[in-house]
A and B are shown apart, each in its own frame.
Chain A
Amino acid sequence: MTESQKPIDPEKEKRKIKSDKRMKEIMTEYYVEAKTPREQRGKKIAWITSGGPVEPLICMDIIPVYPENYGAMIGASKMGVDLCEKSEEMGYSRDLCSYARADIASATVNGGPIGGLPEPDMLICCNNICGTVLKWYEVQARYFKVPLFILDTPICHTEFTKEMRQYVVKQIKEYIAFLEDVCGKPFDYDRMDEVGALSFRGQELWQAILDTTMHKPAPITCFDAFFHLAMIVTLRGTRTVVDYYEMLLAEMKERIAAGIGMIPDEKHRLLWDNLPIWYKMRWLSDKFASHNACLVADTYTSGWTSSMKYLDPDDFLGSLAEGYTRIFLNAGTDIMADNIMGMAEKYDAVGVVFHSNRSCKPYSLGQYDIQRIVQEKMGLPTLMIEADMVDERSFSESQIDTRIDAFIEML
């Protein structure tokens, strides 16, 4: 039977998120523009880390492109192993982050999803998410022979000190000077206010969408959030994100009003910690659904709103330093544990699924401590899954299958 001949299952149809179609259109338009030849496009391209301050780029009419978003695409399209092996042939260790390996390899071949990323005119690297990005971006700066700007954000184990503020604020000024130099035009501070306000509004809406899962049954699961996250990551600071998320939020509210949950018979409400396992999204989503388990929230997708309380929508540029330094991954283990416990309460979750991600060291390093803290302080059952976000060689299905089954039996 071909796809078009399959009978439509009204139950499944009811649960489909209608806004998905628009999201795919927007992402296609975004990549089509970015991949238009330089001379027709007019705009410059900056590759930027996922946690980097993108708003000044938008303000300067630079198209931001995210190797990490591309890494997710590589993982989801199951091209990760090939590209990781290619990077290993080039001499990179298998212990390195699979986003870094896949991106470094894909730059050298004519392949990968969408035929590879458009070449950058500059690289913007902010180490608030990890240390690997420093070397990764240095490698790419040498390969593409383009300027690299590094924004160094000290880890806030517990607090953001006066010295930290001075240190990062000084670099934000240097960042703006760098952009003025590369673009050959002055920075438009009035436009920055608009972009900052849009970025803030986008984050507010994203959080509001994530918060709809406080409702029982939850209208979406974290697997849906992993998909819709692409917007706040790649187009943060634009009107497009605000318009799209307003539409998505309205749809979520309709689902709640109509009593539509993503899991038909929602029984166990769980949290997810760490990045998605991109090449096993469908398998994991079906697996948990088969147990009537709904992953109502996760620490990853909420990461893009994690420092909103330090951002000032009326003085975005002035609050940029603190907002971008105090993101959830740039904090100590206790803060991360508090975050998870706060989420468990907020979303009324009965257990936590940790993805111990071989690639992402800053995210995975403290997980066993966090697991213990969550168990001791809240008595929540937890599950640890060892895998990798892109490199499928680090996933053993039957082991993980048993762990998930046993975890659900334990609940």
Chain B
Amino acid sequence: MITAGIDVGSISTKAAIVKDHVVLATKVIQTGYNAQNAGRKVFDEIQAETGISSSQIQAVVATGYGRKSVTFADKAVTEITCHAVGAHYLNPEIRSIIDIGGQDSKAIIIDEKGRVKDFAMNDKCAAGTGRFLEVMARALEVDLDAFGEMSLTADKTSAISSLCTVFAESEVISLISKGEKRENIIAGIHASIGARVMAMGNRIGLKAPVMMTGGVAMNIGVVKALEEKLNSSLVVSKSAQVTGAIGAALIAETVKGGNNE
């Protein structure tokens, strides 16, 4: 049985194709302004790359904030459930997940079968998310991909105290004008994300082992900052960014599919 998962996030859109519980392919594209188009586009592209046509795909599950705009999906499931299923597939030992995506950060507790036991999400505010990092990268004129490595060379961690993305940006600008090293500021930004996300994680009581999923997991600086707060190491899969899409494709195996054309 071949199924697909489409995860339409606020910044990037991901797709995964699964055959008999084995991941065949994954794909990531930028969402852009039209979430509906992004879902279609990533689905078309992954089919072209794998040579698997939509007629072979028996069911599609959509997830992510744009899940309801994926008109060709057979079912919409929240990213919380999809990340739980995806993380459990990647590593069945996992009992908690920290997922930091474009506009959401979440802490999820799962059981031995990958079922969600409890979760918490960020308040109505983008601080501590991928969008927050994007804004900071722009203020610092640093490529976001370089953020992680740069923060590892910091000689101290700047204090970023504001909880608001806009105000934190002005804090960063004032640190720059004071001549603070970029590396230290970036380390400060990562520490502030770590503190914010862990406050949420502690609220629901994270249980080890903890996996980090979502695009921000590719930033080693945030991973380190979280590990420091968590006082233990995080499991980060190579598939961190596509964990939700994989989970969606796995859930699709249990969904009766229709016509995905």
| A399 to B80 alpha-carbon distance, docked (Å) | 12
| A59 to B77 alpha-carbon distance, docked (Å) | 57
Q: Is the Cβ of A406 less than 8 Å from the Cβ of B116?
A: yes
Q: Is the Cβ of B124 less than 8 Å from the Cβ of A410?
A: no
Q: Is the Cβ of A399 less than 8 Å from the Cβ of B124?
A: yes
Given A386-B123, A398-B65, are A406 and B78 also a contact pair (CB < 8 Å)? yes
> What 0/1 readout, one digit per residue, does chain A (376-388) give for beta carbons within 8 Å of chain B?
0000011010100
- Expressed in whole angstroms, the minimum distance between the Cβ of A408 and any Cβ of chain B is 9
Q: Is the Cβ of B119 less than 8 Å from the Cβ of A410?
A: yes
Q: Which of A368, A398, A402 contacts B80 (CB 8 A)?
A: A402
Q: Which of B115, B121, B123 contacts A402 (CB 8 A)?
A: B121
B121 / chain A contacts, CB cutoff of 8 Å: 399, 402-403
Q: Which positions 395-411 of chain A face chain B at CB distance < 8 Å?
A: 395-396, 398-399, 402-403, 405-406, 409-410
Q: Is the interface of A mostly helix, strand, loop or mixed?
A: helix
Q: Which of B115, B118, B124 contacts A386 (CB 8 A)?
A: B124
* A contacts with B, residue count (CB < 8 A): 17
Q: Is the Cβ of B118 less than 8 Å from the Cβ of A375?
A: yes
* B contacts with A, residue count (CB < 8 A): 18
Residue B79 is within 8 A (CB to CB) of chain A in the complex: yes
Residue A158 is within 8 A (CB to CB) of chain B in the complex: no
Q: Is the Cβ of A406 less than 8 Å from the Cβ of B118?
A: no
Q: Is the Cβ of A368 less than 8 Å from the Cβ of B124?
A: no
Q: Which positions 63-96 of chain B face chain A at CB distance < 8 Å?
A: 65, 76-81
Q: Is the Cβ of A410 less than 8 Å from the Cβ of B117?
A: yes
Given A368-B203, A398-B65, A402-B79, are A409 and B116 also a contact pair (CB < 8 Å)? yes
Residue B154 is within 8 A (CB to CB) of chain A in the complex: no
> What 0/1 readout, one digit per residue, does chain A (305-323) give for beta carbons within 8 Å of chain B?
0000000000000000000
Residue A394 is within 8 A (CB to CB) of chain B in the complex: yes
> What 0/1 readout, one digit per residue, does chain B (202-246) give for beta carbons within 8 Å of chain A?
010000000000000000000000000000000000000000000
Q: Is the interface of B mostly helix, strand, loop or mixed?
A: mixed
Residue B120 is within 8 A (CB to CB) of chain A in the complex: yes
B81 / chain A contacts, CB cutoff of 8 Å: 406, 409-410
Given A386-B123, A386-B124, A396-B124, are A410 and B65 also a contact pair (CB < 8 Å)? no
A403 / chain B contacts, CB cutoff of 8 Å: 121
Q: Is the Cβ of A406 less than 8 Å from the Cβ of B124?
A: no
Q: Is the Cβ of B77 less than 8 Å from the Cβ of A409?
A: yes
| A368 to B200 alpha-carbon distance, docked (Å) | 11
Name which residue of chain A comes closest to B64, CB basis: A402
Q: Is the Cβ of B118 less than 8 Å from the Cβ of A381?
A: yes
B80 / chain A contacts, CB cutoff of 8 Å: 402, 406, 409-410
- Expressed in whole angstroms, the minimum distance between the Cβ of B75 and any Cβ of chain A is 11
B203 / chain A contacts, CB cutoff of 8 Å: 368
Q: Which positions 120-138 of chain B face chain A at CB distance < 8 Å?
A: 120-121, 123-124
**CB-defined A-B contacts under 8 Å, sample of 26:** A368-B203, A375-B118, A381-B117, A381-B118, A382-B118, A386-B123, A386-B124, A394-B124, A395-B124, A396-B124, A398-B65, A399-B104, A399-B124, A402-B65, A402-B78, A402-B104, A405-B78, A406-B78, A406-B79, A406-B80, A406-B116, A409-B78, A409-B81, A409-B116, A410-B81, A410-B117
By Cβ-Cβ distance, the 4 closest A-B pairs, closest first, are A406-B80, A406-B78, A396-B124, A410-B116
